[in-house]
């Protein structure tokens, strides 16, 4: 298969590394310097997503497109792929709702797999599996984070992905389900200050990672908590209250705080998805745990996100998916597709465990 990867950042590089083994991979990015990292195992070219004609031409030359661009470019990338008639797997954290493109994609005979990363992505896959296995789902909770193993003050966080997308996590209202109703909350208003997971203690904030799950999972209560080391969120809250995250101040803010989050430390990624409900008239709980650490070649956030995207792309190629927009939880509902994803991730030394119990 001829695959076009748009975006040569840390996630794009991991995607290319994985898929280049048995596919013809090309990479386009507006930044020529980033392309140098992948030129030894992929065809590269400078490509600006704003150059519509050139992007459409490149897409039409390939069988599958993978969107690994910043979130503010994701929706446009999907629309261009649909216009070109090319299947696309997208991992960007876009503010728009890509489900709105379902009818357009179906009419064009294009398969779109959205939110195809770590979280959202595999978090949705686990949620879909839980919803399929518990007949009457009462609650679903996601804890997720990628953090430095050796956190350094003052922010106790290491920047390993798009800085603007990171800040957006703290400014975008988080959508959750409470008593069967969708509601929006300020992500920094209700900080959980003492979370025990994987023999570690964290703090956490409500994040807007449920996305398509809000429409596809029937449940009474559902939310996502993003993990941070203790001491991070109060500082972030002060910066936001002082308007450092306002659009007119953001570039300056990023220049300052990026330096405070740039230091040597391997990272790790942790996710836990827990569903509780009634199945066969008995209370049931299913827990999925996902864990990974940095390796010599890639950070953990690059591995967990990039390899998840690559594995989902392999699934689309090998198993096929319906035309239209496919959210990742649909993959989880299908036991064969779910098992394929989990086994492929385990082959890449990413730990995935399932625990089922009566409560």
Predicted confidence at residue 355, as pLDDT, reads 92
- Residue 359: pLDDT band with limits 50, 70, 90: low
How does strand 181-185 pair with strand 174-178? antiparallel
pLDDT-wise least confident of 159-168, 281-290, 301-310: 159-168
Q: Buried b / exposed e across 328-356, counting CB within 10 Å, b at 16+?
A: bbbbbbbeebbebbbebbeebebebeeee
Is 166 a residue whose pLDDT tops 90?
no
Residue 164 pLDDT exceeds 90: no
**% of the chain at pLDDT higher than 90:** 91
pLDDT above 70 covers what percent of the chain?
Answer: 100
CATH of domain 122-299+350-358: 3.30.360.10
Task: Answer yes or no: is pLDDT of 357 > 70.
Answer: yes
Is residue 177 predicted with pLDDT exceeding 90? yes
**The tokens of 174 are what?**
């988080």
Q: What is the pLDDT of residues 235-274, one digit of tens each?
A: 999 999 999 999 999 999 999 999 999 999 999 999 999 9
pLDDT of residue 175: 96
pLDDT tens by residue, 77-105? 999 999 999 999 999 988 899 999 999 99
Q: 87: closest CA among 312, 302, 345?
A: 312
Q: How far apart are CA 213 and CA 338, in angstroms?
A: 17
The DSSP call for residue 152 is -
Residue 234 CA to residue 103 CA, distance in Å, equals 43
Helix (H) or strand (E) holding 59: helix 52-60
Q: Which fold has domain 2-113?
A: Rossmann fold (3.40.50)
- Among candidate residues 253, 196, 264, 202, the one with its CA nearest the CA of residue 227: 202
Q: What is the overall mean pLDDT for the chain? A: 95
- State pLDDT tens for residues 4-58: 999 999 999 999 999 998 999 999 999 999 999 999 989 999 999 999 999 999 9
Q: Domain map of the chain by residue range?
A: 2-113, 122-299+350-358
The sheet with strand 87-90 has its strands ordered as 43-46, 24-29, 2-6, 64-67, 87-90, 111-113, 324-326
- Render pLDDT for 12-24 as a digit per residue (tens, 0 to 9): 999 999 999 899 9
Tell me the C-alpha distance between 353 and 201, whole Å: 20
Instruction: Report DSSP letters for 296-342, one per residue.
Output: SSS-HHHIIIIIHHHHHHHHHHHH---SEEE-THHHHHSHHHHHHHH
């Amino acid at each position: 298969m001829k695959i076009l990867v748009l975006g040569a950042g840390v996630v794009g590089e991991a995607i290319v590394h994985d898929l280049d083994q048995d596919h013809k991979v090309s990479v386009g990015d507006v930044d020529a310097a980033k392309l140098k990292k992948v030129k030894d195992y992929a065809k590269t070219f400078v490509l600006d997503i704003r150059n519509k004609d050139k992007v459409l031409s490149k897409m039409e030359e390939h069988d599958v497109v993978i969107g690994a661009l910043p979130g503010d470019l994701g929706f446009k990338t999907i629309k261009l792929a649909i216009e070109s008639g090319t299947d696309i797997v997208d991992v960007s954290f876009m503010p728009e709702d890509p489900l709105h493109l379902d009818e357009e994609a179906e009419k064009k005979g294009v398969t779109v797999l959205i939110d195809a990363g770590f979280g959202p992505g595999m978090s949705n896959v686990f949620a879909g599996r839980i919803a399929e296995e518990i007949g009457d789902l009462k609650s679903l909770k996601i804890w997720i984070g990628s953090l430095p193993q050796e956190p350094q003050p003052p922010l106790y966080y290491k920047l390993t992905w798009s800085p603007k997308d990171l800040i957006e996590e703290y400014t975008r209202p988080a959508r959750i389900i409470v008593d069967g109703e969708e509601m929006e909350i300020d992500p920094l208003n209700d900080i959980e200050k003492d979370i025990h997971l994987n023999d570690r203690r964290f703090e956490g904030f409500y994040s807007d990672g449920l996305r398509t799950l809000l429409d596809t999972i029937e449940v009474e209560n559902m939310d996502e908590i993003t993990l941070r080391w203790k001491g991070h969120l109060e500082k972030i809250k002060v910066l936001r209250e002082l308007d450092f995250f306002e659009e007119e101040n953001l570039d300056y803010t990023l220049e300052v705080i990026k330096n405070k989050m740039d230091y040597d430390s391997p990272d790790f990624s942790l996710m836990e998805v827990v569903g509780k409900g009634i199945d066969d008239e008995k209370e049931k709980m299913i827990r999925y745990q996902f864990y990974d650490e940095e390796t010599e070649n890639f950070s953990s956030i690059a591995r967990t996100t990039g390899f998840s995207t690559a594995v989902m792309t392999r699934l689309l190629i090998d198993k096929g998916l319906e035309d239209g927009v496919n959210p990742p939880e649909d993959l989880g509902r299908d036991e064969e597709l779910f098992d394929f994803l989990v086994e492929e991730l385990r082959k890449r030394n990413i730990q995935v465990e399932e625990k089922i119990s009566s409560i």
